[in-house]
Structure 1
Amino acid sequence: MSTERIIHLADLTFIHNSLRGLHSDISTVSDQVEGVGQQVSTTRSELQQLEQLVRDFIAADMKAKELQLAETRQVKIRQELETKFGYYAEVRRQATGILQAADVSIVRKETITSATEELMLSTPRYWLAPALVALAAWLNDNQGLATKALSEALRRDDEKTSLFFSLVTRRAARGSACATWLDRYFGMQDPTQLDRQTVVLVDALASGVFGPEVRSRCAERIEAWIEELSQRAGFVDEQRTQWNTALRSKIPSADNDRYGYLSKYSPTWPMLNDVLNGAAMHAIVHSYFSQVFKGAIPPSPNIQAAVDDLLDKLVKNFDDEELPLRRDERLCQLIIDEGGNRTAAANRYALESKALDEQVSFTQLLTNAAMHPEASKASKATQRFAIALSKNWIRDAHLDLTASIRAAVPVDVDLEIEGWKGQTRDGDNESALIPDLENHIEQKKEETIASMKLDIKHWAGLTIGALLIVLGLPSMNWLMILLGAGAVIWFFSAKSGIAKARQKVAEDFAKLKEQSVQILRAALAEVVELRRDFLKRDALSHEVTKLLDGITPQQYVLSSHDNVRQVMAQPTA
C-alpha cells in the first residue's frame, strides 16, 4: 500500500506541475492575445493616419501633375500661336513702325512702300496688310493705290479698318477725317453685339485721346447705346445678374485652415467655408476698386505715343482667328495661378469667360473692362470709366450678392464625433451637448463590454472538462483528468482574459470620452470664432457701398491732350 501511495503521490505531483505549466502557458497566450489586440488598435489608428496622408499625397500629386500639364500645354499653345499666326506679328510691328518712321523722316518712302507690299504678299486674308499698304500710299500721296488698298482692307475687316484709321487720322491731327472714320465705325455697331475691339474705342475716350468735338460725339453715342439697352425688357435684372457674376469672380476658393476641427467633424463645413469665402469677397472687391481709383494715371508724353499704344493694342489682341487658342491659354494660366487646382481654375474661368467672347453687349464690355482688364485688354483709365459708368448696377448687384451670401449662412452647425451627432447654433450649448456625447460614448462602451462574454464553446469546454474529471477520478484515469483539468483551466483563463479585456476597453473608452469632449469643446469654440469672423468680414460690405457711392460724376472727367475737360452724365439704374 505504501508503495502504491508513493506512486500515486508522484503521479499527482507530476499532474499538478503539468497543469500549473499549462495554466502558465495559457496565461502567456492570453497576455500575448491582449498585446496583439493593443497592436491591432494601434495599427488601426496608424492606418487611418496613413490613409489621410495617402489622400493628401494623391491630392498634392494631382495638383502637381495638373500644374505641370498646364505649363506644358501653355508652352505648346504659344508655339502653335507662333506657328499659325507668327507672320502676323511682323505685320503688327510695321503698323506703328511706319508712323514713327514718318514722324522723323529717316526712312525713304520707297522703303516703306516696298516693305508694306511684301507684307501684302506674305499675309493673304489678313486685314492689316492692305491697311498698311494704304497707309504707305497715303504717306506717299499715291491716292489711287491708297484707295485700292483701303477698299481691300475694308472688305477683309471693315470694323477694325475703320477703327484703325480713326486712330491714325487722330494721330495726324486730322479731326474731320477722324470723325468721319468714327461715324463709319459707329454706324456698323449694334450695342447688343459689339466686337471685343470696341474696348480700344472706350480706352481712347477714357484716356482723352480724341479731340473735344470727336470726344463729345463718342460720349453721345455711348449714352445713346446705354439708353437703347435700358429700354429693353429685363435690362435691370440683366445688369444685376451680369455684375453679380463679375463680383463672384472675386470670391476666393481658399480652404479656411484655421477651423481644423469644424472641417474634420462638421458635415456643415463645406457650406461654412463657402460663406466665409463669400464674405471675404467684400474686402477683395473694396481693395480692387480702391486700387483702380488710387493715384493719378501717368499720361502719355504726347498724342503720338498715346495713339501708338492704342494701335498696338488694336492690332495685337483682337483677331478672332486666335481666340480659341487664347481661351485655352487663359485656362492654363488660371490653373497655374491656382497651383494646379483645376476645379478652382475652371470655376474662375467660367466667371470671366465673357471677357473672351467674340461679341458682347456694351454693358458687358464695361463689366469685362472693369473686372477682367487682363483678359479684355482694358487700361486703368478704361477701368475707372467702366466702374464709374456702371456704379449703380454694381451697387445693386453687390447688395443682391451680399444678401444671398447672408442667406446661405447655416443656422445650425452639425457635428459628428465618433458616431455621435449633435447640433449647435452659436457654440453656446456646451452644457447640453457634452453630457449627450458622454452618454453616447458610455453606451458604446457598455455595448462593447456586453459583447465581450464567454460564448457556448467556453461553457461547453467547462462542462466537458468537469465530466472528464468526474469520470476519470474513480478509475484514476489520469489522461481524462488531465484533459478535463485543462478544459476547466482554459475556461477560467478565458474568463480572466475577458475580464482584462473589459478593463482595457473601459480604460480606452475613458480616454476616448475625454478626447471626444475636448474635440467637441474645440469645435464649439471654432463655431463662436467663425460667427465672429463672418460678421467681421461681412461688415466690410458697407465699405464697398460707401466707396461706390463716393464715385462722383467728376470721376467721369476725361483728361485730354487738348487740355479740354468733359463730364459725361451718369446713367440711371
Structure 2
Amino acid sequence: MTQEEYEREQAEIERLINEINRVVDENNRLTVEINQALSDISVLQNNVVSLHNSLEPRMRGVSGEVEFNSEQTQAVSQAIQELSTQYFTFKALSTASKNVTQYTDEYYTRFSYYNKLRRITLGYVIGLDSNFVSDKNMRQVVEKAYLQNSEYWLAYATMAVMLWASDEQEAAKRALDKAMFINPQRASLYFMLINLRFSRNETARNWFINYMGRVNPSNLGDEWQYLLQSYLAGAFGEDSGFQAEVGKYFKKMIVQSEATTADFNKRFVNRSYSYMDNYLHQTKENFAYLKGTCSDYDALIKTLSSAEKNAVLAKYYDDLLNEEDERGENIFQRIENALYSLINAYDGDELEVVKKIKLNEHIISAQGDQAAAQKKFEEEFGRESNKTFADLLTDWAFVEDSNITPLSVRRFAISCMKDWIYKGFEKHAQMYREKVKNAYTFNVDGCEITSTEDDFDQGKEKIAQYYQKNKWKNILADKFVKIYGLIAIAGMLLLIVMGVELAKGQFSPIALTAGILLVLLGVFMFWRQSVAMAEQLKEKQRLSIQRFQHALEELGQWRRLFEAEDSELSDLQAALMQFGTIEE
C-alpha cells in the first residue's frame, strides 16, 4: 500500500466516523421527538376524553334541536301549504260575496220599476174588484213606463187592463197588441187569469185557446208552469168544464211525453243522478291522522259527503212537502196567487242578472270550490232552450227556488216522477258505494302500507321492517354523521400524506398530531352520533306506529259514519214516497 492510498483510506474512515456520529445525533434527536410525540399523544388522549365529556352533551342537544327543528319545519311547510289553500279559498269567497252584493245592487237598481209595476198590477186587480182604485193612484206610474216605450210586456198588459176598466177600448186594444207583440205567451196567460179573476169565464177560455194555438209542443216556454199552477190551484173551478178540460190536457201531455220522448224514464233517472251528484254539500267531519297518512283521503271525504246527501235531501223533501203553500181561501185568491207568480217571473235581461247572483251564491255554498259551483249552476240553468213537456217536468222537479218555479208545480213534478227520481238516487248511491275499498294505502314516513282498519299488527310489523331495512341509510343521511365521517377521512388522508413525507425524509410532529386528533375525534363522534341516531330512529318508529294506529282508528270511525249515512237512503225513499199521485 502506498502512502497515498493509506491517506485516502484514513480520510474515508474519518468521513464514515463523522457520518456515523451525525446519524447517531440525528437518531437521538428523532428519539427525543418521538418521545415528545408520544407524550403529546398521551396529552391528546386526555384532551380527547375531556373534549368528549364536554362536547357530547352539547352535540346531543344540537342533534335533538336539529331533529325537532326538522319536524317543526315540516309542520310549518304543511301549515303554509294549507294557509295558501285557505287564502285562495278566502279570495274566491270574498270575490263571490262582493259579486253577489254588486249584482244584487244592479238588479234592484236596474229593474226597480219592474217590481214597482208588479206591485201596482196586483194591487190594481184587487183594488179594481173592491172599487176603491182611482186612475190617479197607480195609472200614472204605468203610463210613464207605457209612454217611455218600455220593452217590458207587463207595462202594456197592465195599461190595457186600466184602459179597459176606464172604457177606453181603442187605447186598450193598442196596449194589448203591444203586450202580445213583446211576449205573446205570458200576455195570453195574463189576460186569461185577469178574465178568470172577474168571472169572465168564456173570455178566459178564448184566451186559453189563443195561448194553446201559439204552443209548439217541441219548444214550450217556462210560462207553462203558471198555467199548471192555475190548474192545480183550481183557478178554473168556477167553470167545472173548463177545469176538467185543462186537467185532461195536462194528463194527456204526460202520457204523450212518456210515449214519444225517447228514453223518457232513463232521461229522468240520469237527471236525478246528476242533480244529486252536483248537489252542494261538504261533510263537516275531519280526520287529522287519515289526512296526514292516507293517500286516498280526498276520496274518503268525497265519498262520505256523497253518502251524507241522503239525509240532507231526505230533510229537504220533508221540508218541501210540509212547506206552507198559501193556496188561498177562495177561488179568487187562488187566481191572484197564480197571477202573482206569473207577473213576478223573471224577464229575459232580468234573469241574466239573477243567474250571475245564483252562480256566486253557489260559490259561497261550495266553500270557494268554483268547479263544483259551476257544475251546480249548469245543472240549474245550462239546459237546452227548446223544451218539451217532459223537459219542463224534469226541470220543475229539481228547482230549489220557489221564486223560479211555484211550490205547487214543484210538488206536482215530484209526484209524477218520484219513482224515477229515486232510481236516480239509487244510481248515485251505487256510484259512491263502488268507490269504497276494503283496504286503503297509507304512507307513514315513507313506508307504504295497504291495510284495513283491522290489520294493525301487520302494518306495525311492516313499519318495523321498513325502519330496520333503512336504518343505516337514515343514519348516514344525518348531517352530523356526514360531518364526523368527513373529519375522520380528513385525518386519515393527513396521516397518509405524513407517511409519504416521512419516506422522503421529512417529518412534521404538528401534522402528525393533527392527523391523529382528526381520526380519533371523527371516529369517536361518528360512533356516538350513529348511536344517538339509532335511538332517535327507534323513537321515530314508535311514533310512526302510533300515528298509523290512530289512522286505522279514524278509518274505522269513517267506515261506521259512512255506513250510517248510506243507510239513510231508505229515509230518502220514504221522504219521496210521501208525495201523492197526480190524481191526488
The reply to whether TM is greater than 0.5 is yes
**Which of 448, 451, 462 does residue 492 from structure 2 map onto?**
462
Deviations 1:261-290 (A, max 9, x none): 222211122222222112112111211112
CA, structure 1 residues 540+152, in 2 after alignment: closer, same or farther (shift >3 Å)? Answer: same
- Give the C-alpha shift of residue 373 in structure 1: 3.0
Within 5 Å, which residues of 2 pair with 1:96-245? 96-109=122-135, 114-211=140-237, 212-230=240-258, 231-245=260-274
Any conservation in 2 of the 1:465–1:485 contact (CA below 8 Å)? no
CA, structure 1 residues 276+130, in 2 after alignment: closer, same or farther (shift >3 Å)? Answer: same
**1:253 aligned onto 2:252:** no
- Give the C-alpha shift of residue 429 in structure 1: 2.1
CA, structure 1 residues 193+48, in 2 after alignment: closer, same or farther (shift >3 Å)? Answer: farther
**Which of 497, 506, 528 does residue 500 from structure 1 map onto?**
528
Deviations 1:185-242 (A, max 9, x none): 2333344433223222222233333324333233222222222322222222211111
Within 5 Å, which residues of 2 pair with 1:149-548? 149-211=175-237, 212-230=240-258, 231-250=260-279, 252-254=281-283, 256-257=285-286, 259-294=287-322, 297-354=325-382, 360-374=387-401, 377-424=404-451, 426-449=452-475, 452=481, 458-459=488-489, 461-462=491-492, 464-465=494-495, 468=498, 480-548=508-576
Any conservation in 2 of the 1:123–1:129 contact (CA below 8 Å)? no
- Give the C-alpha shift of residue 314 in structure 1: 2.1
CA–CA distance in 1 between the matches of 2:489 and 2:357? 75
- Give the C-alpha shift of residue 470 in structure 1: 11
Specify the code of the residue in structure 1 equivalent to 2:150.
P
- Give the C-alpha shift of residue 162 in structure 1: 0.6
- Give the C-alpha shift of residue 386 in structure 1: 1.7
Any conservation in 1 of the 2:341–2:406 contact (CA below 8 Å)? no
Task: Specify the SS of the correspondent of 1:318.
Answer: coil
Q: Which moved more, 1:503-512 or 1:175-184?
A: 175-184
TM-score by length of 2: 0.83
CA–CA distance in 2 between the matches of 1:47 and 1:456? 26
Specify the code of the residue in structure 2 equivalent to 1:224.
K
CA–CA distance in 2 between the matches of 1:74 and 1:525? 42
CA, structure 1 residues 345+255, in 2 after alignment: closer, same or farther (shift >3 Å)? Answer: farther
Match of 2:4 in 1: none
Any conservation in 1 of the 2:280–2:365 contact (CA below 8 Å)? no
Any conservation in 2 of the 1:91–1:129 contact (CA below 8 Å)? yes
CA, structure 1 residues 507+364, in 2 after alignment: closer, same or farther (shift >3 Å)? Answer: farther
Task: Specify the SS of the correspondent of 2:449.
Answer: strand
Deviations 1:125-154 (A, max 9, x none): 321122112101221233322222212211
Deviations 1:20-59 (A, max 9, x none): 5577568766765554443332222111111222222222
**Which of 61, 71, 90 does residue 64 from structure 1 map onto?**
90
Alignment identity in percent? 20
Specify the code of the residue in structure 2 equivalent to 1:116.
V
CA, structure 1 residues 414+528, in 2 after alignment: closer, same or farther (shift >3 Å)? Answer: same
CA, structure 1 residues 115+286, in 2 after alignment: closer, same or farther (shift >3 Å)? Answer: closer
Deviations 1:367-418 (A, max 9, x none): 4333323176233322322211111221221222222222222343111111
In structure 2, list runs of 5 or more residues that go unmatched. Answer: 1-28
Q: CA RMSD in A?
A: 3.4
Any conservation in 2 of the 1:113–1:137 contact (CA below 8 Å)? no
Task: Specify the SS of the correspondent of 1:396.
Answer: helix
CA–CA distance in 2 between the matches of 1:226 and 1:353? 23
- Give the C-alpha shift of residue 522 in structure 1: 1.8
In structure 1, list runs of 5 or more residues that go unmatched. Answer: 557-566, 569-573
CA, structure 1 residues 175+246, in 2 after alignment: closer, same or farther (shift >3 Å)? Answer: farther
Specify the code of the residue in structure 1 equivalent to 2:68.
T
Deviations 1:233-264 (A, max 9, x none): 2222211111212222436233631x222222
- Give the C-alpha shift of residue 521 in structure 1: 1.6
Match of 1:560 in 2: none
Task: Specify the SS of the correspondent of 1:374.
Answer: coil
Q: Which moved more, 1:450-459 or 1:228-237?
A: 450-459
CA, structure 1 residues 268+46, in 2 after alignment: closer, same or farther (shift >3 Å)? Answer: same
